[in-house]
Every structure is written in C-alpha cells, then in structure tokens.
C-alpha cells in the first residue's frame, strides 16, 4: 500500500470523525486492520464503511447501493451537518474501491477461513460485506430458529379448546386473534405474538402461561419452569407489574382446576442480560450452549429491542427442548444496536400467509376456518406459520389510532389532512397539532407550563401536607401523566437542549439538584436496584431540608435514594423516543425538529405517537420534515 493512499484515507477518516460523520470505532478499524497485516487501501476503506453501517443498525454494507449512490447508502453527510469535507464518492473513486482486487483480503461465503474480519456474501439482490461477528450471528440465528420451528408438540385439541374456552371470554369479534395466538404457541417450540399498543399482548401471554403450564404438567408430571424477561430494566419491571395484575384478575374468573396452575407461574421478570448472566466488563455470559438456562419456557417481551447479537446469545442459552416465545410490536423502532430481529421475523405478518395446516391449528370451528381464507397462502414462508399478529386495539382513543395508522401506512396525504383539520394547540382535543413554522414559541411555552402544572401542583400538595398524609406515589403518577418526546439526543431539538429549554420555561436549572427535578437513570445500578430508564422525582424533606429522590420499586412501592448515590442520572422533562419504548403516558407530546435527520423515520414517529394513551400533541417545527420522515422506513 502506498503511503500516499494510507495518508489520504486517514485524513478523510479524521475529517469525517471530526464532523461526526463516523464514530471513533469506525475510524479505528483502519488501524486495527493495519496491525493485522492488511495493506489494501480499498479493503481498509470498506472495513471503515461496513463498521459505520453497523453503527446505523445495519448488519451489512450493500455494495451495489454503495456503487450507485454512496451518499445515500451511507447517509453521509448527515442532514444538517456542514458539507465541507471529502465526500464518500470522492473517497471511493480516489482509492479505486470498485476494483475487486481487495476481495482476496476477505472471506467469501462458503470458505472456511476465519482470518478475515470481513465476509463477502453474494445474494440474489447483490453482494454484501459483513463484519464477521454479524455474519456469524445471522447464520447461527437462521439455523437455530429453523430447528426450533421444526419442534412441535402433540396437543389434545379437545382439552386445549376446553381450556381456551375457560380462559377467553365470548368475543363479539368474528376472529379472536388472542385465542389463536395461544393455540399456535401451544404447539410449537418457537412462536411470536406481535401487535400494536393496546392489542392485548400481556392479556394473551398470561393465558398462554396457563395453557402451557397445564400441558406440561400433564405430560411431565411437574411444574413448568418459566423465565420472563425484557431487554431493559424498565420494560422488565412493567412486564412484572402487568403479569401480576393480569394473573390477579384472571384468578377470580377461572374454575378450580385451572386456579391451581396459577400458583406455579413465576411473575417476576428480569432483564435479558440478567437472564443470560452477564459477566461484568466482558461480552460473555454465564449461560450459553454448554450451560443453558434452567427453563422449560422463556418469554421475551418488547422483542423489537433485541439486536442481532443479543438474539444469538439468547438462542445459545435457551435449551434445545425449551419453548421460546417473543412478544412485541413489529412496527416499533428496531434495536439501537445492529439488526431488526422481530421486524425480520414478522415481515408480512399482517397478511397472515398461513398454510392450510396452520389454519387448522389456529381455529376450532368451520366458521373460523372460512373467515381465515383471506390469510391463506400455501406458499407462505415457514417463519410466518409461527407468528400471530393481534389486530384489535382496545387501548387507543380513535383519533390517536388514526394518526398512528397513517404513519404506519406511510400515508402522507391522510397525515397532511389531519394536520389541517384537527384542533391546533388547544390542549382539549384527543389529538392536537402545534405548528411552529409561522409562529413564536409562546404556544409551546404555554403547552409546557400547562402540561407540567398537574405535576407541580401535586408536588406542592405533598410539601404542604402533614407527614402522615404525604403521598409521594401521587406525585410520581402525576409526573408520569405528561411526557415530552423527541427523536434526537443532540442538536437544538434534541433531548439535551429541550430539557434545558423546559427548565428555563419552568424557572429552574436543569443541571443541578433541586426540589421537583425529575431524573432518569441512564445505567443499571444493581446495588440500588435501579434500572436504566427508571424515573424518579426529587423532594425536599420539610423537616430536615434535605433532598431525596423517590422511585417506584418492582412492587410499585416508593423507595427513597440520596442524590449523592445517583451517579448515572439526567434531567428528564424530555426523553428520546428510544427511551420511551415500553412506556405509556396519558398525554404524550412528540416534538419534530426543524431539520431532517437519518434517525427520523416512520418507525420512530409511530413509536412516539403510540406512547400516548388518552391525549397526543404533535409539535411540528416544519411540516415538510415530518412528512419526509413518514416517507422513510428503516431497512435492515
């Protein structure tokens, strides 16, 4: 390799890093390969670009797209950033990247060499370049899931239907997808239950636990060992709370023979990391294929957050004869890390595409089989025979559902119509649009003050109440009723800047401790039993004047923590949409920035909108940015 080419590549990498086009780890790929003996300039450049794609959540670099449209393929330069340095096209042309002589440095699909960190795969849609670990994960996950899909369980249909009749109320809907999800999962070693907010995923899985517990005890003569988990501590705590509540409600309705099964159902969920037994300061886990988790059934909630490496670790640690059930919304944001496991598994699920044998197993009457005709496809992929999509939303106000559905369909015409016809910023409608394009920020300020007024009033009530009547839980609930959301962390419309803006509007300093400061935990603290994403509120104790932070524990009880013990927290008047996954708020406010960004997609907007339970406000800085974001879809 010529010194000129290496010097040029490093100069470009430094420029891109300085302008935040790429990450430090992407730039470091060059030196890593040089130390490994690689000398081909195109190979070094492609390794950096493949690493950059991984940072965007993509497991591979599509070479045809890179050749035809480098800037679009790489999303470089990022929107809104200064375009004053070398472009991707210039770099690729200068290093003659599309001269295929660099291919001798990588492993081609089908060869056994483990020496190259990159793998080149030829597929029907073109060539892709993978970092080896992501290529391994894709190969492993595909083979492992294929084996699990082949595992089926013999079921007594009469007994199963009798149990399902007891578990599910008579439904006016012609097709009870929740019941069909249970019938499907009862027969398979692997299954997926997907659906939007309010479609009853928790309601369904609680009944599935009863069904599987009954089947297992009849077959094996002992209780089913159940493990429940979610990708984040916040989601795990919410899963535990939801399961407990659903079990309590179910217990009052069941006949005696089914009530006995509830005592053997574990109701405390953990994080996936804890389930796998993460080893501190490493990428390894205690549980793997040689030391699997001791469980007969593993249920993972919020599976849209699972990245490809976490899925690999989960499959390695799940016993071959255990059942694995994934729950989640296929249309929500994919994982922060590379991969879109749930989205890939559920692609096409809205159309069913069920084989006739699958339809027979899902239904229990000839009338239902006839109704499933529109979901029939004998050529449907095998994976969809293990997926049931819940379709009836029970949680949403209709107006919120209309916005969410328009975003999900990428229907910009309907969305533009809703912008112009629904009430603007009144605060009284179910959906409000606050258009800031030709307006001062005064209405946004009024929205902030009005939104947090209930919370600040509850805090004042707590402060003035006698000690025995102080209810910190009421303050926490009041805070959780209203939430500002943004798709970005940085920039003038990112979470950091907006948190400072809200603090200024409310007359406080967002960076210091004060009574009323809401904070979010940003890193798991096992000593304090606080999880990444937990939210607390700061109180000043009237008797001593000292500050304490109140959080809900896993049982819904308030616990108090000294601010000095909280090393990883940030002010959270505003949170990112990513951080809000798994949560719901009575009134959610989604803020759209003035400039486009690669992270603004229909999945992000859909996830933000569906956090609202009763009321939704969309703050639109520029109409075109919002509509452009709806037109963009994450493609992993």
Query: Rounded to whole angstroms, how far apart are CA atoms 91 and 98?
Result: 11
Tell me the chain's radius of gyration from C-alpha atoms: 26
Residue 429 assigned to a binding site: no
Residue 200 assigned to a binding site: yes
Residues in the chain: 636
Residue 523 assigned to a binding site: no
Residue 486 assigned to a binding site: no
Residue 348 assigned to a binding site: no
Tokens 């679009």 sit on residue: 72
Strand 535-540 vs strand 547-552: parallel, antiparallel, or unpaired?
A: antiparallel
- C-alpha 429: how far from chain center: 29
Residue 516: name the closest of 553, 478, 486, 484 by CA: 478
Tokens 């606080």 sit on residue: 530
* Residue 214 near residue 249, CB atoms below 8 Å: no
Query: Rounded to whole angstroms, how far apart are CA atoms 323 and 287?
Result: 17
Residue 17: name the closest of 43, 51, 60, 41 by CA: 51
Tokens 């210039």 sit on residue: 90
* Residue 269 near residue 240, CB atoms below 8 Å: yes
Tokens 């006698």 sit on residue: 466
Residue 154 assigned to a binding site: no
589: exposed, middle or buried (Cβ count in 10 Å: 0-12, 13-18, 19+)? buried
Q: In what helix (H) or strand (E) does residue 483 lie, and over which residues does it extend?
A: strand 482-486
Residue 271 assigned to a binding site: no
Under the phi-then-psi rule, with left for phi > 0, alpha for psi from -120 to 50, and beta for the rest, what region is 84? alpha
Q: Long-range contacts for 182-185 (Cβ within 8 Å, ≥24 apart)?
A: 182/207, 182/208, 182/211, 183/361, 183/362, 183/363, 183/364, 184/358, 184/361, 184/362, 184/386, 184/388, 185/211, 185/212, 185/323, 185/325, 185/388
SS3 call for 41: helix
Q: Helix 201-220 to helix 157-167 angle, to the nearest 10 degrees?
A: 140
Q: Computed from CA positions of residues 167, 173, 179, 183, in that sequence, does the dihedral angle turn out positive or negative?
A: positive
Residue 507 assigned to a binding site: no
Annotated binding site: 195-202
Annotated binding site for ATP: 195-202
């Amino acid at each position: 390799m010529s010194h000129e080419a290496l010097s040029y590549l490093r100069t470009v990498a430094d420029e891109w890093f300085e302008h935040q086009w790429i990450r430090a780890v992407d730039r470091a790929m060059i030196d890593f390969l040089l130390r490994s003996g690689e000398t081909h300039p195109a190979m070094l450049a492609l390794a950096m670009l493949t690493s950059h794609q991984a940072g965007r959540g993509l497991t591979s670099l599509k070479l045809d797209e890179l050749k035809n449209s480098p800037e679009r393929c790489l999303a470089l330069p990022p929107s809104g950033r200064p375009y004053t340095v070398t472009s991707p096209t210039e770099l690729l042309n200068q290093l003659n990247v599309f001269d295929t002589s660099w291919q001798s440095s990588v492993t081609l699909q089908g060869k056994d060499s483990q020496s190259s960190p990159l793998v080149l795969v030829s597929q029907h849609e073109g060539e892709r370049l993978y970092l080896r670990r992501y290529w391994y994960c894709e190969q492993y996950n595909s083979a492992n899931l294929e084996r699990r899909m082949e595992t089926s369980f013999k079921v007594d249909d009469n007994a199963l239907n009798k149990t399902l009749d007891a578990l599910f109320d008579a439904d006016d809907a012609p097709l009870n997808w929740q019941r069909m999800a249970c019938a499907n999962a009862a027969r398979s070693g692997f299954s997926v239950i997907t659906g939007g907010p309010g479609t009853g995923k928790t309601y369904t899985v609680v009944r599935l636990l009863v069904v599987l517990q009954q089947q297992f005890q009849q077959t094996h003569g002992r209780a089913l060992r159940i493990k429940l988990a979610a990708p984040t501590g916040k989601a795990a705590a919410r899963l535990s709370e939801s399961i407990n509540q659903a079990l309590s409600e179910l217990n009052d309705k069941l006949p005696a023979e089914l009530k006995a099964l509830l005592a053997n159902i574990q109701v405390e969920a953990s994080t996936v990391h804890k389930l796998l037994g993460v080893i501190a300061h490493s990428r390894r886990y205690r549980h793997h294929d040689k030391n699997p988790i001791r469980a007969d059934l593993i249920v993972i909630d919020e599976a849209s957050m699972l990245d490809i490496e976490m899925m690999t670790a989960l499959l390695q640690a799940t016993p071959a004869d255990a059942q694995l059930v994934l729950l989640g919304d296929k249309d929500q944001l994919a994982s922060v890390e590379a991969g879109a496991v749930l989205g890939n598994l559920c692609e096409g699920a809205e159309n069913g595409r069920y084989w006739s044998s699958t339809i027979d197993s899902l239904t229990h009457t000839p009338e239902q089989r006839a109704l499933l005709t529109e979901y029939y496809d004998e050529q449907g992929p095998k994976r969809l025979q293990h997926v049931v999509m819940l379709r009836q939303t029970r949680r949403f106000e209709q107006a919120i559902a209309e916005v969410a559905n328009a975003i999900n369909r990428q229907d910009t015409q309907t969305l533009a119509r809703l912008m112009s016809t629904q009430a603007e910023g009144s605060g009284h409608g179910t959906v409000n649009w606050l258009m800031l394009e030709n307006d001062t920020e005064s209405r946004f300020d009024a929205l902030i003050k009005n939104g947090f007024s209930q919370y600040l009033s509850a805090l004042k009530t707590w402060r003035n109440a006698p000690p025995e009547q102080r209810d910190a839980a009421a303050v926490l609930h009041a805070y959780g009723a209203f939430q500002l959301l943004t798709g970005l962390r940085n920039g003038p419309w990112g979470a950091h800047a907006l948190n400072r803006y809200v603090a200024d509007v409310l007359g406080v300093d967002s960076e210091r401790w004060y009574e009323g400061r809401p904070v979010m935990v940003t890193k798991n603290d096992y000593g304090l039993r606080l999880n990444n994403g937990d939210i607390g509120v700061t109180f000043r104790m009237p008797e001593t004047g000292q500050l304490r932070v109140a959080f809900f524990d896993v049982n819904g009880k308030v616990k108090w923590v000294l601010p000095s013990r909280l090393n990883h927290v940030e002010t959270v008047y505003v949170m990112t949409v990513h951080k809000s996954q798994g949560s719901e708020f009575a009134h959610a406010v989604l803020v759209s920035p003035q400039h486009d960004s690669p992270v603004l997609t229909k999945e992000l907007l859909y996830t933000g909108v569906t956090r609202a339970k009763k009321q939704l406000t969309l703050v639109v800085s520029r109409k075109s940015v919002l509509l452009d974001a709806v037109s963009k879809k994450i493609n992993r």
